[in-house]
Copies of this chain bind each other. A is one copy, B any other.
Amino acid sequence: MKNVICCRCVKCGREYPAAPDITTCECGGILDVIYDYEYIATKLTKETLRARTDRTMWRYRELLPIEESTVPSGLCVGMSPMYEADNIAAELGIAKLYIKDDGINPTASLKDRASAMAVTKAIEAGYDTIACSSTGNAASSLAGNAAKAGLKTYIFVPSRAPKGKIAQLMMFGANLTAVDGSYEETFELSKAAIDKFGWYNRNAAINPYLGEGKKTVAHEICEQLGYKAPDYVAVSVGDGCTVAGVYKGLYDMYMIGLIDRIPHIISVQAEGCCPINTAVINNEPWQPQEENTFADSIAVGVPRNPDKAINAIRDSGGICVNVSDDEIRSARRYLASKAGVFGEPAGVTATAGLIKLSREGRLPHEAVVVSIVTGNGLKDIDSAIQSVGEPVHCKNDLAQFEKLFF
């Protein structure tokens, strides 16, 4: 890879060659992929992007850690739509709001970006099997992308995982193990099996390439805005991998000169589970927290990528804001009815944070803001049913209908 220099530990700084199946540093720290931006800047320009017909995340391949000869595997991921929401911007008192709808990806979440990268690296490294433990979007996106790529998958979920998510995984043909135990035990069994059988490891924050897939959402934001950096990018934050990826993508675009400054990250967590924001706000090491939120995709009390996430928020001069479950529910309806974008609870948490910041007067009126929706509302229809209540009932009687509505 001419574009990649090495993998570097974010904790101790130790460097490693970027092998396709590298995991963490010997010190336990997470690795960051280090690029040769000078070289990349000569290859990836506005002109090359304008001429490029690839409409997936791989259109930014000079910024991605794959060999020049690698043919990307997996589903058609990325280039999700970004909507101008002038009506919402006006109500929030900001200049511009863009909603980046990543819920339209093939398995309906931003995690497809990481999983498409994972299956591509697994094949590049010569593996025929890939594994992870997850209850949620990571698992379904891995199962879908691996099915397309022709890889076998072993996926480990706690046996309490919702039946709908289990059904989706089994549909994709994953070898699914429901572990009778906690999530921690599920993770342990997956690790033991991966070590024993030598499968490719797609566990978040162990594999340094996953975030490199996720960062393409930020590349797209820059290109879709005509390379005019927004002032803020709002992201919902759970284990920290997505926010770290978003920052990395913005940093990439800045380093190769396609944007002239790095936007401030708005890191939004649930009040009931906000270890990363608490650490940043209090400027202290992060501490484990309870997981008291219905937004399951960001209910992570022991984040697996706190270092990169905290660095991303700080280095961008970011803002942290925590929102209640009621604020998330309310933002979900607001976003669907005002912008036509129906997100899962964690998917609309960024927007809930924006609404709160604007009410508190913490966003300047001239602000241009992008809010990322990370997952489709169809992923969690049960909570939608609970939140909307009963519809109006009526007989086949126009007079009754008129009375009810007018």
Could you list which residues of chain A lie within 8 angstroms of chain B, going by C-beta atoms?
55, 74-76, 79, 81, 83, 87, 101, 104-108, 144-150, 154, 157, 159, 163-164, 166-173, 175-181, 185-186, 188-189, 192-193, 196, 332-333, 336-342, 376-379, 381, 384-385, 387-389, 391-398, 401-402, 404-405
Known A-B contacts A168-B378, A171-B336; the reply to A178 vs B79 at CB < 8 A is: no
Residues of B within 8 A of A87 (CB): 150
Q: A193-B398, A394-B179 are in contact. Are A168 and B377 (CB under 8 A)?
A: yes
Residues of B within 8 A of A377 (CB): 168, 171
Instruction: Provide the residues of chain B in CB contact with A379, threshold 8 Å.
Output: 378
Cα distance A381–B164 when bound, in Å?
A: 6
CA distance A167 to B402 in the complex (A): 23
Least distance between A389 CB and chain B CB atoms (Å):
8
Give bound CA distance, A81 to B159, whole Å. Answer: 34
Which chain B residues lie closer than 8 Å to A81 at the CB level?
A: 75-76, 106
List of B residues within 8 angstroms of A164 by Cβ: 381, 384-385
Nearest chain B residue, comparing its CB with the CB of A75: B340
Q: Is B396 a contact partner of A168 (Cβ separation < 8 A)?
A: no
Contact of A181 among B107, B175, B339, B396 (CB under 8 A): B396
A108 near B167 (CB under 8 angstroms)? no
For the complex, what is the distance from the CA of A384 to the CA of B181, rounded to whole Å? Answer: 25
Residues of B within 8 Å of A376, CB to CB, are: 108, 378
The reply to whether B393 and A180 form a contact with Cβ atoms under 8 Å apart is yes
Question: What are some 12 contacts across the A-B interface (CB < 8 A)?
Answer: A76-B101, A144-B342, A164-B385, A167-B381, A171-B337, A171-B342, A177-B405, A178-B393, A179-B394, A179-B396, A180-B393, A189-B396
A340's nearest neighbour on chain B, judged by CB, is B148
B-chain residues with CB within 8 Å of residue A145 when the two chains form the complex: 340
- Complex Cα gap A147–B333 (Å): 11
B residues within 8 A CB of A101?
Answer: 76, 106
A332/B381 in contact, CB under 8 A = no
Chain B: minimal CB distance from A375 (Å): 11
Q: Is A171's CB under 8 angstroms from B396's CB?
A: no
With A336-B172, A340-B172, A405-B175 known as contacts, the answer to whether A108 contacts B395 (CB < 8 A) is no
Enumerate chain B residues within 8 angstroms of A340, measured Cβ to Cβ: 74-75, 106, 144-149, 172
| Contact (A148, B397) CB under 8 Å given A106-B104, A337-B173 | no
